[in-house]
Amino acid sequence: MTEKLINSKPNGVVALILIELALVLGIFIFVIGAGSENIFGIIIGLLLILISVLAHAGLKVVKPQEALVLTLFGNYTGTIKEPGFYFVNPFSIAVNPAIHTRLGQSGDVSTKSPFSGMKSSNGNDVNIEIGKKQISLKVMTLSNSRQKINDCLGNPVEIGIAVTWRVVDTAKAVFNVDNYKEYLSLQCDSALRNIVRIYPYDVSPNVDTTGDGQADEGSLRGSSEIVAKRIREEIQSRVEDAGLEILEARITYLAYAPEIAAVMLQRQQASAIIDARKMIVDGAVGMVEMALERLNEGELVELDEERKAAMVSNLLVVLCGNHDAQPIVNTGSLY
């Protein structure tokens, strides 16, 4: 379905004046005809009144960044995108299949009916909402619920995304899919699952996330920008036929699933402790080497291999220990 734009100038004010004049004229002719018992005048007056009342249905208001998709007897007649007050065929119907869809996203705005305060027969409140027939062209944000997905290593993770989108082709959005908002939500969930299954939560060896056959350091936690870009591209390819444009996709929540969160936290802590210990040992060995070199260069003392071993042992214990060293004075001999 190709979008057809109706580029006519806003003519609603002129049409409204003519309709009201016709209504007044019809009432006047009906009153005159009824007073003179003129059947022809009564019929003409009633016809003018009926036509004027029906013509009010053709008055349409289009606000900025909104579109009105019109059909006539089941045929698509065009879309009005320019803001203004218009008069169209009174039998034309504005179509918006997502009028009652509420996904908890921006743009889901409804107007309460005057009858919303009424009580039902069993005493419950009756909430009636009047949706807007216009389709919003504004930039909207969809925040889907968190999903539990297994990463490439099989670890369950919980992830949520926020997708910024807008309607660019109203004809495709209305006629190519049943409900473009629900369609977008489902495609976001599906695309998210496909991308998350490619990556590990943390950097893991021998994992190829780019598809080039070589291991890389891609991960959900460390490559969030790349992951978000791939999610956006995946969603865009899926909603192209629905006339939607995906502007941005961002990860809003990322964590291990509760059933393995404690175990994975211990794993991360162990990895951090090992890395810290490696750094401490490397630094301690460097300091011991520097101390021995300085002693040899200055020829302050001559140490045999046994004394050097004892000195290295003592320095490593002091530098690698978790507690501060306690000074002890040796009053005896080393041997």
Q: 238: closest CA among 161, 177, 164?
A: 177
**Structure tokens that stand for 138 in this block:** 């504004």
**Range 300-319 average pLDDT:** 73
State phi, psi for 87 to the nearest 5 degrees: -120, 120
- In whole angstroms, give the CA distance from residue 316 to residue 309: 11
Global pTM value:
0.71
Signed CA dihedral, 130, 239, 67, 142: sign only: positive
End-to-end CA gap in the chain:
97
Higher pLDDT, 224 or 277: 224
Longest dimension (CA), the chain: 142
For the chain, the average pLDDT equals 82
* pLDDT tens per residue, range 188-200: 999 999 999 988 8
Higher pLDDT, 94 or 288: 94
pLDDT value at position 266? 76
The set of residues, in sequence order, having a beta carbon less than 8 Å from that of 54 and lying 6+ positions away, is 90
pLDDT value at position 119? 54
**Range 67-85 average pLDDT:** 91
**Structure tokens that stand for 37 in this block:** 């018992």
| pLDDT tops 90 at residue 172 | yes
Angle at 143 between CA 156 and CA 82, to 5 degrees: 150
The CA-atom distances, in angstroms, between 129 and each of 115, 118, 202, 289 are: 9, 13, 46, 79
* pLDDT tens per residue, range 121-150: 555 554 444 457 889 999 999 988 888 998
**Range 78-101 average pLDDT:** 89
- In whole angstroms, give the CA distance from residue 163 to residue 233: 11
Exposure class string for 210-232: b at 16+ Cβ within 10 A, else e = eeeeeeeebbbeebeeebbebbb
| pLDDT tops 80 at residue 247 | yes
| pLDDT tops 70 at residue 306 | yes
**Range 98-126 average pLDDT:** 58
pLDDT > 90: percent of the chain: 35
